[in-house]
Structure 1
Amino acid sequence: MGKITGFMEFQRQEEDHLDPAQRVKNYKEFTLTLSDAQAKLQGARCMDCGIPFCNTGCPVNNQIPDWNDLVYHGNYRAAIDNLHSTNNFPEFTGRICPAPCEAACTLNINSEAVGIKSIERKIIDAAWEHGWVVPQPAAVKTGKKVAIIGSGPAGLAAAQQLARAGHDVTVFEKSDRIGGLLRYGIPDFKMEKVHIDRRIEQMQAEGVTFRTSVLIGKDFPASVSNMARETIFPEDLNGEFDAIVLAGGAEQPRDLPVPGRELKGVHFAMDFLPQQNRANAGDKVKEQIKATGKNVVVIGGGDTGSDCVGTSNRHGAASITQFELMPQPPGEENKPLVWPYWPTRLRTSSSHEEGCERDWAVATKRFEGKNGKVEKLIACRVEWKDGKMAEVPGSEFEMKADLVLLAMGFVSPVQQVLDAFGVQKDARGNARAATDGEHAYQTSAPKVFAAGDIRRGQSLVVWAIREGRQCARAVDEFLMGSSVLPR
């Protein structure tokens, strides 16, 4: 490495952030990219450990020590080429990936991990600034046509790889804009949508066709079918395309079936968050769910719940409380026990820093209100023994709640799509498809493949990109008999 003793000389450098009081006034990104000097020192900390566990901790197997060294030497042009060889969209992962690579960093055993995610963001931001991200159209067209259903990270990664292999690729999206949950699930203050838009422009120049407001399948509920201008049935796609990739997300939210669930003011997080993204894009949102001046309770302690907290802060909520069913995790993990795997420990997000009360081991028993509108929730403390939950006697309490946001994760993809194609499903309602072997990513339906959350269930953006890339290679092999695409 460029600085053999760097890991002993330099401390981890976190990215700078705008002050919470300043950043909650708008929906723009507030994390500041590392300076050249900061990135150089952070790259110097990569310790030439011999066996870089960060590579395998990263689902797309980024060659992290290589581009850390290139950044240390200021060679950003070579760094972005290396980074793009494994990751189509490092501007996405450099902003919203939780960085399992850092948990696996060898330096993390007894010190602080290298700031891998911040270096990744620095590389791609420099690449866009210098005009190094350009279309890479295929030199030769194959004449084969591929349909991609879903334009999230898995669908976009598969589409870009297949287009570069020479296939004619069409991406179908049920929403009015491309991006899937990147567009309408991730708040703009975590990732502004310009990062999606310029990738779309690149992919269009590479030959990818995008069709929005199109539903693929049948028997959708009115809430879904009203989103689209057009519905296409699987048999139509089968007749037009040589291969089909199902790349939708795991969009079915986990509900909370307790008394009072029907009260006005109790909403799924994914009814709340997309509305604000649409408003930020200039759309007029009818009857937008707003937290302004309200006592907000967010049920669910994960990233989606945190996004609800950040959005509610920007709305100007009177108070925000976030409940989590599981016990409060430890402040620090037992590194010798869990390294190099993703640890369970207390994580405080930027949204929490902006203002939020957090409580753990809390179960909601019911909602109460007047005139059909929620006014409070009744909850209790719970304890966990041998993996089973039990109410703590005498622990019931109530809390004012004008707006309740359910952010308890997602249970499965939209079943109507899988049913329409006749795809076999696993026990959790995901598309059944193996990730390796002769029929990698192929479903039980002829020439139909599946990748991302629709196959593996709710997961990370970096896993979606990995599966999209691997699925693209499998499709290319299916169509051509062999493939030069990386896996």
Structure 2
Amino acid sequence: MGKPTGFMEYERSSNKGISPKIRIKNFNEFHTPLSDEERKCQAARCMDCGVPFCQSGILIGGMTSGCPLNNVIPEWNDLLYTGNDEQALMRLFKTNNFPEFTGRVCPAPCEAACTNGINGDPVAIKENEDAIIENGYEKGYVKANPPKVRTGKKIAIIGSGPSGLAAADQLNKRGHSITVFERSDRVGGLLRYGIPNMKLEKHVIDRRIDIMKEEGVEFITGANVGDNVKASEILKNYDRVILACGASNPRDINVSGRKSKGIYFAVDYLTSITKSLLDSDFEDKAYINAKDKNVLVIGGGDTGNDCVGSAIRHGAKSVVQLEMMPKPPEQRSDDNPWPQWPKVLKTDYGQEEAIAVFGKDPRVYQTTVKEFIADKNGNVCKAKIVKLESKLNPDTKRYSMVEVKGSEVEIEADLVLIAAGFLGTQEYVAKAFGIELNERTNVTTKKDQYQTNVEKVFVAGDMHRGQSLVVWAIREGREAAKAVDIHLMGYSNLA
């Protein structure tokens, strides 16, 4: 696969990023692609390793190893290296409906499982994938291909995030008539409003939605099923329903002073920014503004980093990011061997920008908020934070993070953003359709299945598995589509 000796001849090379102090002047994507020849060299690094863990998509130690979509990575790397661009794209489309999304926002568990990564740098799989799809758009390979025959079956998909879009795309290709209901004003769900523009410019979503519309998929926005659209009408008018509404309940921080003004969930903050950007290029001022404020971000992960990068772009006075867990090591520990996901320190774009602007990493580890302090007008102005340490609970025999007595300090905080993850399905949607939820508030199904307790209703994505990656959502959408197709037709030719 690729060039047999390529991994020895070529060093890993990545798309060049615009320097932090320049890129924070706007909300545009900031990486410059490699040349075609340089990209071929990167594809050539894909070795004929015999057992390509990169495409395995399995869980090891509760962490994803390899691509959840089972992308046949060595094959399209070989096609990219040999200049067979269109064939590379067709091979990629066999397993992934939206490589333009995953090629931008996926954390690349495929690269973490790459055999080259055992003793060196892994293949630049994520960037190779993005290069294949972007080349496909540029050369006209990606175009509408409506089904030649319609089955007469109607399917409603509730939610237009990555799982809903994947299910819609698959079932439309099969010839069913698809209507996607989206409660927001624009299609895309998490992709649209949960991921900031500098990671995924929204014209990339629009480009794909336009193709899906040409292929016959209908999109209805402003349709909040269970609120302004009755679930009973959906069940009556459609042969099957797929719920793909995400894990939309943000986890809160319940401490004294939480009701103070100026404390927001990260998802609301990021949504306000993207919506204002798209509506008016920020001219309407209808966004939560971090300008000249001391910003406190509670939580790590991608969402916390996105809050850091967004706040810096709007001119925050300072940014502090709290992480409950200890600082990860810079190298794999002995109990975290390949091909497990590497639990190592990652400095993402937002932290890089904070270091460039403020001279230090914004992250404070093993720390959480104990109290919010408001001024006389009820606006948050300070936060009392406390250090944490890991201790064994004698009753549960498990370790947990507990406060270190006497470690409390106060810091200035004019804007607080809670990026502590999500808890599961919003109750009103479940009640509207009469579906059962489990103890994690995810929709209940049989193991590895997608049909709910209501015969016509299926589920996919974060609503099914809990908060997860875009690549997992696409896989779930594809698998739910196949389950619906079999339930409707008695068989399926969907992959």
Letter in 1 for 2:268: D
Letter in 1 for 2:350: S
Q: Distance in 1 between matches of 2:200 and 2:439?
A: 33
Instruction: Give the Å deviation of 1:338.
Output: 2.7
1:328 aligns with 2:327: yes
Instruction: Give the Å deviation of 1:209.
Output: 0.4
Q: Distance in 1 between matches of 2:285 and 2:350?
A: 26
Aligned equivalent of 1:366: 371
Letter in 1 for 2:41: L
Q: Is the 8 A contact 1:310 1:352 kept in 2?
A: yes
Q: Distance in 1 between matches of 2:20 and 2:388?
A: 33
Q: Distance in 1 between matches of 2:410 and 2:33?
A: 43
1:210 aligns with 2:210: no
Instruction: Give the Å deviation of 1:287.
Output: 4.8
What SS is found at the alignment partner of 1:254? Answer: coil
What SS is found at the alignment partner of 2:192? Answer: helix
Instruction: Give the Å deviation of 1:186.
Output: 0.5
Aligned equivalent of 2:480: 471
Instruction: Give the Å deviation of 1:286.
Output: 6.0
Aligned equivalent of 2:32: 32
Q: Distance in 2 between matches of 1:121 and 1:316?
A: 31
Aligned equivalent of 1:308: 307
Q: Is the 8 A contact 1:15 1:33 kept in 2?
A: yes
Q: Is the 8 A contact 2:388 2:402 kept in 1?
A: yes
Instruction: Give the Å deviation of 1:35.
Output: 1.8
What SS is found at the alignment partner of 2:191? Answer: helix
What SS is found at the alignment partner of 1:270? Answer: helix
Aligned equivalent of 2:289: 290
Q: Is the 8 A contact 2:276 2:286 kept in 1?
A: no
Q: Distance in 2 between matches of 1:195 and 1:337?
A: 36
Aligned equivalent of 1:379: 385
What SS is found at the alignment partner of 1:465? Answer: helix
What SS is found at the alignment partner of 1:342? Answer: coil
> 1:263-303, CA deviations, whole angstroms, 9 ceiling, x for partnerless residues?
11111111111111011112465652100011111000111
Instruction: Give the Å deviation of 1:393.
Output: 2.4
TM-score by length of structure 2 reads 0.93
The equivalent position to 1:251 in structure 2, one of 248, 252, 257, is: 248
Q: Is the 8 A contact 1:34 1:118 kept in 2?
A: no
> 1:72-104, CA deviations, whole angstroms, 9 ceiling, x for partnerless residues?
112111110000110000000000000000111
1:132 aligns with 2:141: yes
Q: Is the 8 A contact 2:295 2:318 kept in 1?
A: yes
What aligned pairs does 1:21-420 form with structure 2 within 5 A after superposition?
21-56=21-56, 57-218=66-227, 231-283=228-280, 287-334=286-333, 337-355=336-354, 356-370=361-375, 371-386=377-392, 387-420=399-432
Letter in 2 for 1:88: N
> How many corresponding residue pairs?
471
Aligned equivalent of 1:18: 18
Q: Distance in 2 between matches of 1:110 and 1:445?
A: 50
Q: Distance in 2 between matches of 1:122 and 1:327?
A: 36
Q: Is the 8 A contact 2:2 2:48 kept in 1?
A: no
Q: Is the 8 A contact 2:179 2:220 kept in 1?
A: yes
Aligned equivalent of 1:225: none
Letter in 2 for 1:303: D
CA RMSD, 1 decimal: 1.3
What SS is found at the alignment partner of 2:319? Answer: strand
1:452 aligns with 2:452: no
Aligned equivalent of 1:425: 437
Q: Distance in 2 between matches of 1:110 and 1:2?
A: 19
Aligned equivalent of 1:7: 7
What SS is found at the alignment partner of 2:325? Answer: coil
Q: Is the 8 A contact 1:109 1:336 kept in 2?
A: no
Instruction: Give the Å deviation of 1:205.
Output: 1.0
Q: Distance in 2 between matches of 1:183 and 1:244?
A: 23
Q: Distance in 1 between matches of 2:2 and 2:271?
A: 44
Q: Distance in 1 between matches of 2:240 and 2:365?
A: 47
Q: Distance in 2 between matches of 1:118 and 1:60?
A: 16
Q: Distance in 1 between matches of 2:285 and 2:124?
A: 42
What SS is found at the alignment partner of 2:134? Answer: helix
In terms of mean alpha carbon deviation, does 85-94 or 390-399 score higher?
Answer: 390-399
Q: Is the 8 A contact 1:432 1:443 kept in 2?
A: yes
Q: Distance in 2 between matches of 1:215 and 1:392?
A: 45
Letter in 2 for 1:424: E
Q: Distance in 2 between matches of 1:459 and 1:196?
A: 20
Letter in 1 for 2:239: D
Letter in 2 for 1:312: A
Aligned pair in 2 of structure 1 residues 476, 323: CA closer, same or farther (>3 Å)? Answer: same
In terms of mean alpha carbon deviation, does 243-252 or 6-15 score higher?
Answer: 6-15
Q: Is the 8 A contact 2:153 2:239 kept in 1?
A: yes
Q: Is the 8 A contact 1:80 1:127 kept in 2?
A: yes
Instruction: Give the Å deviation of 1:137.
Output: 1.1
